[in-house]
Structure 1
Amino acid sequence: MGKTLIIGASGGIGAALVAACAARGEDVTGLSRRDDGFDITDPASVAGHLDALDGPFDRVVVATGALVIDGAEPEKTIKAIDSQAMLDQFALNAVGPALVLARAHGLLPRKGRGVLAVLSARVGSIGDNRMGGWVSYRAAKAAVNQIVHTAAIELARTHQESVCVALHPGTVATPFTADYLGRHPAVTPDEAAGNLLRVMDGLTPAQTGGFYDWAGKEVAW
């Protein structure tokens, strides 16, 4: 029975991952702001909660994030940039995961396979951006992709069997996306969790530092 840590366990995808891992017989620990007071944007909160855990964990998933923060909608144009809204996006979607990754060495087993996955988004891909808009969210997700890639290089020096990746879960029907789905096909959180677990199960150390979608296909940086 593996040990799993889900950060952002009260969100749509996070809660589904907790349920899916528990159904597989895994020993699951969940952390969230709502239920545990875990604030991923606060270094003291991240340190206090993570350092108190009984690790290591075979799987760690950072499933936090938001598209709309304090009512700031995704920008339709660069002309709509608001500095505070952009800073808020970076704090939650990039700096927060970086604070977790700073403790990755203590969360994963030194010997044997471990997986640390950070949920990102395809809109964070620079190479795949043909629509424009959503500047702050895109930039924050592009930043977290770089953070994951960099952290994976360092982690590989001491945890040679571990995998650290950014994952795009696809378009998932949650309150997070409710106002932005339009005619885009979406999956349920349960389906997304199953897809993500299949991808994580199949990852090898050679893939560490990569960016993959819900089907296991590499996403362009």
Structure 2
Amino acid sequence: MNPRRLLPVILIFMALGLLPVAVLAHPHAWIDLRISFERDANGQITHMLHHWRFDPTYGQYLFDDAQEHQPGDTPAVRLQGLAGEILDNLDEYRWYSHLQMADEAIEIAAAGNPRMAMEAGLLHFRFRLELAEPVDPAGAALEYKVYDPTYFIEILHQEPHGTRIVDASGLVDATCEARLERPRPDPAVVARAMALDSGASVDYDLGRYFAERVTVRCD
């Protein structure tokens, strides 16, 4: 698990002496994130590919749920059923993805064919989003955040290659770079998150305070 996840917990425990995180606090699940942006032959970014790796406990919960409730003759088929269901449900939350360029929001849509698989004991979820209009990352910087607005799930980029840009041939584009800015939530916001338990009322703006921001630039 990413060691950066422990820092806010340690700091707030030192300051407030709260109960163990298993008893109180958001988040309750964790995702290691990888993002790939696809550029077409004209250099325009057209798609955003998500690769989620769930923490062992939440991943096993999802796997077991799929085996019990999804139709299909094999574990793999039942996982695919869950992948489609999750992708559909995330529509309401914009797939946790917020993109903008020159302060203008970029609309996105699911491109279909999500994939879910258990790999080396960890559950992986992959899906693809299509930008409503291709954008030129050489003309202006593309910025994005990926977060659960309720902060039930914490999503952090997997190091060291959390974000990459690939060209039309599928190779990493060396003319582009991605800069990640870590969140710096106010201590009062951290305390609010730590005080919530799994049955607390949903706070639909909490997650944005803990979201990493990534800026993509290309030559």
Which structure shows the higher strand fraction?
Answer: 2
Q: Shared fold (TM-score greater than 0.5)?
A: no
Between structure 1 and structure 2, the one with the greater Rg is 2
Which structure shows the higher helix fraction?
Answer: 1
Structure ranking higher on relative contact order (CA contacts 8 Å, 6+ apart) = 2
Give the TM bin, normalised by the shorter chain. Answer: 0.3 to 0.5
TM-score by length of 1: 0.33
